[in-house]
A = this chain, B = another copy of it.
């Protein structure tokens, strides 16, 4: 194949030096070029890139030197074809715009990057059909595994089907099946913290304001709310749906107040709702923190900047992302390990948006 051409002034170098304009497309430096130049075989050069301990230190140094000299760029694509490993991980989220998912993604990316892999991103729009299309695309691109934040309405059988493809998958935030790894939050626990706190302030008529698509995280919060209320001997029938858009939420605040038996406190499904209701209550002339109590969920950075500062249950999305990524990396290392769950605890961050219940109300 390649001849042991002694130092024949290196055809490659000449090419680069003398015809820099024509090497537009063709002249990619390959491992073979490196090998020839360093007087070793392709195989040895390959071992050097992969930092194998098999190669002699003097040889390694020489090869590395040549790689630098020629400006060699590793061709992951070629490697993947042979090695059946792409060093690529798919991440599918329902919505990039929501800061919550953005933070989740940020946590995932940091960990995946640290492991030397790369994130392929896709947006499912919370639509199972699009999610499936996107998943196919990931498969075609040969991702080593997928972190999926399942779209609302994803069936457990769907995850089983993915498993049949031999595609490692981690569920994030929403748990569809217990046969796959899962990284999430103890939403129910968070609801308990919120309810307990409000009850300790004397509130008894507590509403839960929700919106958005229905998925496991949704159910878990609803049922957590129910249980927590029940544990205090209270009814959990005030579950109020508000619009999805921030603008609409504010204007639905008066619906809360004009009920026959209005609540004295509201727990919000997320901070977006809390932000909207806070604005809406302000518009109604209600003073949040004294006249009325409000608790958010997620504890996004805005919570600190609101006036009054928002008391919120923090779910640390970046940490969840970290956990999800770690789960996937572990599974890639050992595909046969049993499914694992990492369910993170929430923390109630008490600020100013809650006050003692006004007894006069009844």
Contact = CB atoms under 8 A, between A and B. Distances in A.
Interface of A: 1, 24-25, 73-78, 80-81, 84, 86-88, 91, 95-97, 99, 102-103, 105-106, 109-110, 113, 118-123, 134, 136-142, 164-166, 246-247, 249-250, 275-276, 278-279, 282-283, 301-302, 304-307, 318
A258 B144 CA distance: 58
B118 A123 contact: no
Contacts of A279: 305-307
Contacts of A307: 278-279, 282-283
A233 to B, nearest CB: 35
B106 A97 contact: yes
Nearest to A143: B118
How many identical chains are in the complex?
2
Main SS of the interface on chain A? helix
22 contacts: A1-B164, A25-B84, A25-B166, A73-B139, A76-B142, A77-B86, A78-B81, A81-B81, A95-B106, A96-B103, A106-B123, A109-B122, A118-B120, A118-B141, A246-B302, A246-B305, A247-B305, A275-B302, A276-B305, A278-B305, A279-B305, A283-B307
A121 B121 contact: yes
Contacts of A134: 113
Contacts of A166: 24-25
A305 B36 CA distance: 65
A88 B118 CA distance: 12
Contact of A96 (B102, B247, B250): B102
